[in-house]
Amino acid sequence: MSYHTKLYDYDLPPNSINQNPYRHPEESSLLIAESKKIIKFDYFESIISEPSLFIFNSSKVRNVRIVTNKISGGSIEVFILNIIDEFSAKCLLKSSDKKIIGKKYNTKNFNFEICDIYDGSYLLNFDISIEKLIDEDGLIPLPPYIKDDQSKYKYYNNVYASGGFSVASPTAGLHFTKDLLNILNIKNEIIFINLDVNIGTFKPMQVEKLDDHKIHSENYSIKKADFKKIEQAKNNNKPIYTIGTTSLRAVETAFLNNSLSGVTDYFIKPDTQIHISDYLLTNFHAPMSSLLSIVHNVYGDNWHHLYNYAIESGLKFLSFGDAVLFKIDE
């Protein structure tokens, strides 16, 4: 069946976007889609009726946003999309001057040159290592719809984030504190996979038909021992909870491709069969986001009504917002 992308547009009031993170994540709310019941997140463990397997994405958001000034005058902003080698990276570049191959930029702490130009991004070569640049000059990149404020940076990574190279947070995990993870781990299994979230996650669909939308590609990896736990859980009918759409895409890709690492551009559409997960916990997504296709898949054609219910109930949307738990029917 062919779907039009305008199906994924809806009216999101500005006051439904949580501009500030929950200082205490357990105070966020969780909408249980099946019953439309709303609970506080610190009661999450109480709704898990039997021992289950939880899959989290542990990829860490790096300090990839560098804001500085040119020695010659004028501000400049570099956003590192991915590292090519020790001194080179594919980047976004904001500067008022004309950007051409071979152009050099000098700043107080580092210098760089444009080596190539892509569609909207640049290959930059720096005179210091990319890792040093990130560690010494980088800032956490907040989503474009969140007002920038350094006091928010420490809340944009998950408490279990480790390794990987994400430029956006897998935000479904922001609701989980260390205490809640410890409680879950008493009766359940927890595994961590890695999918590096790239900036394409914020790109709205701009074509008419869903089938014509090209979804962004992202690197993923799953440890062999952990995927064996997933297989065992599935074989033993043990419920599997994927925390976030990135976890869902990673495990589905690994299953379908029989590959524990690589690049995924797997697009879960309304009629795509989901093989691994029994439950999906995710935040509320922006209008025209390709991730709404996953919501459509797991909830059905009435997903608009669920989102409207969430808005009317005062739930908060997007990265720093509340969450929704879906039961995935076979």
pLDDT by residue (tens digit) across 39-84?
999 999 999 999 999 999 999 999 999 999 999 889 999 999 999 9
Closest CA to 80 of 145, 140, 127: 140
For residues 112-137, average pLDDT: 96
* Both structure tokens of 255: 């299953």
Judging by beta carbons within 10 Å of its beta carbon (0-12, 13-18, 19+), is residue 238 exposed, middle or buried?
Answer: middle
| pLDDT value for 90 | 97
In contact, 108 and 75? CB cutoff 8 Å: no
**Residues 196, 82, 119: CA angle, nearest 5 degrees:** 115
pLDDT band at residue 190, thresholds of 50, 70 and 90? very high
Nearest-10 crossing angle of helices 224-235, 245-257: 90
* Both structure tokens of 59: 């990829």
| pLDDT value for 315 | 98
- pLDDT of 141 > 90? The answer is yes
In contact, 245 and 57? CB cutoff 8 Å: no
- How many Å from the N-terminal Cα to the C-terminal Cα in the chain? 19
* Both structure tokens of 301: 């054609």
Write out pLDDT tens, residues 117-129: 998 899 999 999 9
| pLDDT value for 273 | 96
For residues 175-184, average pLDDT: 96
| pLDDT value for 119 | 84
For the chain, list the domains and their CATH numbers: 5-61+147-327 (3.40.1780.10), 65-137 (2.40.10)
In contact, 280 and 296? CB cutoff 8 Å: no
| pLDDT value for 19 | 96
The mean pLDDT value of the chain amounts to 96
- The alpha carbon of residue 142 and the mean position of all alpha carbons in its chain are separated, in whole angstroms, by 12
| pLDDT value for 120 | 87
Share above pLDDT 90 across residues of the chain, in percent, rounded to a whole number: 95
For residues 166-181, average pLDDT: 96
Q: What string of DSSP letters covers 275-328? A: -S-SEEEEEPPPTT-TTHHHHHHHH-TTHHHHHHHHHHTT--BSTTS-EEEEEP
For residues 174-201, average pLDDT: 96
Closest CA to 139 of 157, 124, 113: 157
- Over its C-alpha atoms, the chain yields an Rg (Å, rounded) of 20
For residues 235-244, average pLDDT: 97
What one-letter code names the amino acid at 325?
L
Could you give the 3-state DSSP secondary structure of residue 168?
coil
Write out pLDDT tens, residues 274-325: 999 999 999 999 999 999 999 999 999 999 999 999 999 999 999 999 999 9
- pLDDT of 272 > 90? The answer is yes
pTM for the structure as a whole: 0.95
- pLDDT of 1 > 80? The answer is no
| pLDDT value for 2 | 83
Closest CA to 27 of 13, 42, 17, 15: 42
- pLDDT of 330 > 80? The answer is no
In the chain, beta strands by DSSP E: 29-32, 37-40, 53-57, 65-69, 75-83, 88-94, 104-106, 111-117, 122-126, 189-195, 218-221, 240-243, 261-264, 279-283, 323-327
